[in-house]
Chain A
Amino acid sequence: MKIDNKARFDALTHRILNELQQGEYAALAYYGENSDFMRFNNCKVRQSGTVLQTELTIKLWKDKKSHTTQLGLSGNFAKDDELVSEALSSARALLPLLPDDPYQAIPDGSSVSEASYKGSLLDSKDIPSRILEPAKGLDFTGLYSQGYLCRAAANSSGARHWFETETFLLDYSAWLPNGRAVKSSFAGREWQDSLYKDKLDSTKKAVAKLDAEEIVLKPGSYRAFICADALVEVTDFFSWYGLGERGLRQGESAFLALQEKREAFSPKFSLTQDFGLGVQPRFNENGELAPERLDLISSGKLVNTIVSSRTAKQYNIEANGATEGEDVRSLAIAAGNLAEADALAALGSGVYVSNFHYLNWSDVQAARITGMTRFSCLWVENGKIVGPIKDMRWDESLYNMLGTKLVDLTKERQLIVDSMTYERREVGGCLLPGILVDGLSFTL
C-alpha cells in the first residue's frame, strides 16, 4: 500500500486539533517509513524484507493534567480514525485520575517548517546483486537499509513541521579468517555503483593490512590516536547522564564537576549542537524548534546545557527546543590543528584506534568510561604501522581523554550518520575529528 504520509499527517492534525475540547491542548509527533532491509553474512543474505510503518504520538493537556499516547497506525484512514478516537477517549477518561503535573509545559510556539529530500535508490529486487557482486571475495557482513522516512510534529499553538527524505545506508565489515576486520559504511541519497566500488576497493586494501600476527599489549597507559569512527561511540555519553539540564540539576549527570568548575576539558575541546549538519530536523516531538547552532562546551568550559520546556518550567529558566530526554542532537566537535595525514607521525608509538565497542559509564561522577577496542586497531611504532592489536579493554575519565591528556584534534572532520534501527530507522549524525591522546588506560 502506498501511503501519502504528508496528507495523512495533515488530516490527522486537522482532525485531532479541531476535536479538542474547551481547555485541552495537544501536541502530535508523526513517524513514517517504508524500508527495505537486507542482512548479510559471509557475502550472502541472511535475512531480507520490507517494513511499512507509521506511528503517532498524541500529548494531551488539560488543566494541570498531562498524558501521552503512542499509537501504531495502520495506514488505513478509517481504521486510524477509530484508533485516534479510542486514544483520545481513553486519555480523557484517564486525565482526572492523574496527579497534577507541576511542570506541565504546553508548547506555545507556532513555527512552521517543511523539508523534503528525494533520493535515487536501488530497485528492491536488485539489492542483492548490486551489493554483493562487487563484494565477492570478501567475508562481507552487515546491513543494507534504504527507503523513505518522515518525521513531523504539530501542536495546538499552531506549530507545523514536516521532514521527509529518501536515504540508503550500508553498514558493513569485511573479515579475515584471523578474526580481524575493517568496519565501514556507505550512505547517501543517491546510490552510485562507482562510488560503492571505490569504497569497497578502499576496504579491500585496509583489510589486507590486518593479515599480520596480532600484537598483544600489556595493561598500561598508551598514547592513542582515536579516529572519528571510534570517537562517535564516546559522543553518546554527552546525552546519557550528559549535558541535559535536568540531569545536572538532579545529580544524574557526569558533568556536574564540569558545571561546578571542579573539572574542565582541554581548551582545545569545543562541542556544539549544530543542525547545520543537515542530517535531522530542528523540531522536537512537541513542535518546538531548537536554535540552528548551540555551543555547549567552548574551549573546555560548559557554556550551555540542553533544556527541555519541562525542565525550563521546573527551574524557571529558558528552554532551547530540546527533546524531553534532553539529548544532544547533531553533535559537532570542533576541528583542531593536526592534519590527518600527520596523525601516525604525531602518534609516534602507540595505538591507532579505529573503533570502540560497548562503552558504558564505569563511574558516572568521575565521567569515567570503560569500553573495548574493536575491528582494525593497530600498533604503531615511530609513526609506522606494525600490525593489528589483540583487542583491549580501556577505562578512562573523559576529563583525561578530552582534558589533560588531549594533545590535538584533526583539522579534517567526518560526518557520521546515525545507523541505529531500534523501532525505526533513525535520523541524525555527528561531525567529528580524530583525536590524539597522550595516555589511554588499557586495563585488560
Chain B
Amino acid sequence: MKHDLQRLLNAAQSGAKEAEWIGLRKRKSDASFYMIRDGAFEEAVKAFNEGIMVEVLFKGSFGYAASADLSPEGIKTAAANALVTAKAVKDYTVYKFDSTVRPETKLEYISKRDKKAVPAVNELYAFMAEASKKLKAGEEIIQTSAMVEYGRYDYEIVSTNGADIEQSLFYISNFLQAIARKGDIIQTRSGNGPRALSRQGGWELLDIPHLLNMAEKTGQEAIELLSAPSCPNDKRTLVLMPDQMMLQIHESVGHPLEIDRILGDERNYAGGSFVKLSDFGSFQYGSKLMNISFDPGIGHELATYGADEIGNLAKKELLIKDGILMRGLGSLESQARSGVPGVANQRATSWNRPPIDRMANLNLEPGSTSFADMIKSIEKGILMKTNRSWSIDDYRNKFQFGCEYGVLIENGKLTKTVRDPNYRGISSSFWRNLAQVGDKNSFEVFGTPNCGKGEPNQVIFVGHASPVCAFNDVEVFGGGR
C-alpha cells in the first residue's frame, strides 16, 4: 500500500508544482455495530470509509483538499485545489508556518492485541441476549439494552519531506443498560456510563464472565435506585469513582488545556479557556496531589498511538505536576503559535477534516490512599459513580455534572444509596480541593469515542484513566422539578 501512496504523492506533486511541501494523510475505517433491546434484535451495522486529505504548504499557508477519489487523477486534482486554497489565504493566515510542523517521521504502529480473531456474529448476539437476561433483574425493569462495537482505523501518512507512517488501531466498545420504573420514579443504570467501556485492543477486552456479572449488578442497582431517597442538597466531601473521574478530567482539565482554545480558535463553537498562556509554568491548577499526564502508551486505553496525524512522535508528558500547570495540549502548530510546550495531539476525526489540538489519553496519576482508608477518613460525604449528565461553560469554569448512582458516607462508612446525585463547582477551586487520590488498586481505564469540537465539527476518541478521588466541600444536590 505504501507504494500506492508514494505513487499518489507523485501525482499530487504534479498537480501542485508550486507547493513548498505536500503531505497525504490517508484514513480507512472499518466498523461493526451490534445491538439488542429487551433481548430482541435491534440493529446490525457495518461501516466502511476511506479517503485522503491532501495538504499543501505555500508561502507559510496550508491549504487542504479531502477526497475519497484515490486515483492518481483524483489526487492530482485535490492537490491543485489545495494549492488554490493555500494561495488564496496566504495574505490572511493566522500564522506563517513552515514544514517543521510536519516532521519527517518514519513509523509503523499497531495496537497490542492478545486475541485477534473476531468471534462469529451469532456468538456476539448470544452474549448480548444472555446479558439482557441478567439486566432484567426484576419486574421493575422496563427496558434493557446491550451493545458490542468493534473496528479498526488505518492511517498512512507520506510527505515530500520524507514522512512515512503506518498505524493500525483496533478498538472494542460495549454497553449495558437497564431502565427501571416504580410509579412515577424511573431510574437508569448502565455499566460504566454511555460508551465508557471503549478501549483499544483485541477480543481479550470482551471479558464475557465479567460483563455478565456487571449486567446482573447493573439491573439490580437500577431497581435499588427506585427505593432510594434523592441525593441531599448540601456541601460535603465528594468521592468520585474512576468512571466519573474520566468525565471530570475530560471537561475541567482536558479541554481548558487545549492550546487552540487558549489561542481563540474555538471561541465561536466549543469555547475558550480560563487558562492563559502566561499560566504555564506557575499556575496552581489543583492541590499538590494532582498529577495529570498525557500518556499515549497505556495498553488498552483508547487513544494510544505512535504518532499524531501530522507525524509528531507521541510520548508521555506530565501536564500538571504536583498541582502546577507545566505543559499544554498543544500540537507542533500550537506550540509554534503560542511558545508553550505541548504534546503530540494534532488529530482528526477522519480524512475529511483537518487535524486540530485534541486530548488523547489524559490521565490522573495514582496516589497512595487505599479506597478503604479513603472512606474511613470521611465523616460526611457522598460517593458518586457513572456519569449521566455533563455541562460546563465555554471557558471551562462553572460545571455541573450528574451521576447514575450515589452512596452516602457517614462517619467513615458507606451507608445509604441515593438517586439522582449531582454536583457543581468551578474547575480550579474544585481541583484545589482534591484531598485524597487513590492508589494503583483503584486505577481504571475508560474512554469515549464522542468528544466533539472544531469547525467544521469533529468527534474523536479519547481515553481517560484515574484512581478514585476525594474532593472537599463540594455542593451536591438531587433531582426533581
Contacts and interface: CB of A to CB of B under 8 A. Distances in A.
Contact of B455 (A87, A100, A171): A171
Given A52-B66, A76-B71, A76-B74, A68 B186 contact: no
B389 A370 contact: yes
B398 A444 contact: yes
Contact of A41 (B49, B81, B265): B265
Contacts of B125: 97-99
Given A124-B88, A172-B268, A102 B46 contact: no
B260 to A, nearest CB: 8
Interface string A83-115: 100010011001001111111000000000000
A171 to B, nearest CB: 7
Contact of A360 (B89, B267, B391): B391
Interface residues of B, number: 93
Contacts of A67: 44-46
A136 to B, nearest CB: 11
B440 interface: no
A365 B185 contact: yes
A39 B45 contact: no
A193 to B, nearest CB: 17
A141 B267 contact: yes
A400 interface: yes
A99 B129 contact: yes
B87 A125 contact: yes
A358 B394 contact: yes
A41 B264 contact: yes
Contacts of A76: 69, 71, 74
Interface stretch (B156-164, B299-307, B456-464): B456-464
A75 B88 contact: no
Interface string A60-91: 00000011111111111000000100010011
Interface stretch (A19-27, A249-257, A276-284, A300-308): A249-257
A206 interface: no
B92 A128 contact: yes
Contacts of A101: 40-41
Contacts of A346: none
A143 B268 contact: yes
Contacts of A97: 120-122, 125
Contacts of A288: none
Given A181-B267, A358-B391, A1 B69 contact: yes
B57 to A, nearest CB: 13
Given A1-B77, A50-B64, A51-B66, A393 B71 contact: no
B420 interface: yes
Contact of A52 (B68, B88, B391, B402): B68
Nearest to A37: B456
Contacts of B480: 363, 366, 368
B394 A252 contact: no
Given A51-B66, A422-B457, A99 B46 contact: no
Given A44-B94, A45-B92, A357-B394, A171 B120 contact: no
B393 A393 contact: yes
Interface string A245-266: 0000011100011000011000
B207 interface: no
Given A1-B77, A41-B265, A45-B93, A68 B46 contact: yes
Contact of A39 (B40, B265, B400): B265
B455 A53 contact: no
Most chain B beta carbons < 10 A, residue from A38, A128, A183? A128
B186 A256 contact: yes
Contacts of B41: 66, 98-102
Contacts of B50: 72, 74
Interface in B50-94: 50-51, 53, 55, 61-71, 73-74, 77-78, 81-82, 84-89, 91-94
Contact of B73 (A1, A55, A66): A1
B479 A141 contact: no
A421 B47 CA distance: 19
Contacts of B188: 252, 364
A175 interface: yes
A362 B49 contact: no
A91 B479 contact: no
Contacts of A91: 46
A374 interface: yes
A420 interface: yes
A362 B45 contact: no
B422 interface: yes
B323 interface: no
Nearest to B459: A422
Contacts of B85: 48-50, 124-125
B210 interface: no
A182 to B, nearest CB: 11
B277 interface: no
A38 B94 CA distance: 12
A376 interface: no
B139 interface: no
B452 interface: yes
B479 A363 contact: yes
A120 interface: no
A298 interface: no
Interface in B264-298: 264-265, 267-269, 271-272
A13 interface: no
Contacts of A179: 272, 395
A53 B61 CA distance: 24
Contacts of B70: 74
Nearest to B352: A51
A126 B85 CA distance: 9
Contacts of A141: 264-265, 267-268
A50 B43 CA distance: 34
Interface in A315-368: 357-368
A397 interface: yes
A42 B264 contact: yes
A104 to B, nearest CB: 9
B88 A48 contact: yes
Given A171-B455, A362-B389, A443-B424, A252 B143 contact: yes
B3 interface: no
B315 to A, nearest CB: 26
Nearest to A2: B77
B256 to A, nearest CB: 13
A371 interface: yes
A53 B51 contact: yes
A183 B268 contact: yes
B63 A41 contact: no
A84 to B, nearest CB: 11
A440 to B, nearest CB: 14
B335 to A, nearest CB: 15
Most chain B beta carbons < 10 A, residue from A66, A99, A423, A443? A99
Given A87-B48, A173-B267, A397 B457 contact: no
A399 interface: yes
Nearest to A64: B41
A366 B122 contact: no
A197 interface: no
Contacts of A425: 456
A324 to B, nearest CB: 9
Nearest to B66: A51
A273 to B, nearest CB: 24
Give the 8 A-B residue pairs with the shortest CB-CB distance, closest first.
A49-B64, A72-B49, A363-B479, A143-B455, A421-B456, A70-B47, A142-B268, A44-B94
Interface of A: 1, 37-39, 41-42, 44-55, 66-76, 83, 87, 90-91, 94, 97-103, 124-129, 132, 141-143, 145, 171-173, 175, 179, 181, 183, 250-252, 256-257, 262-263, 357-368, 370-372, 374, 391-393, 395, 397, 399-400, 420-423, 425, 443-444
20 contacts: A39-B455, A45-B93, A51-B67, A51-B352, A52-B65, A68-B44, A68-B46, A128-B92, A173-B268, A250-B179, A357-B271, A358-B394, A360-B390, A363-B479, A372-B391, A374-B394, A391-B398, A399-B481, A423-B349, A444-B398
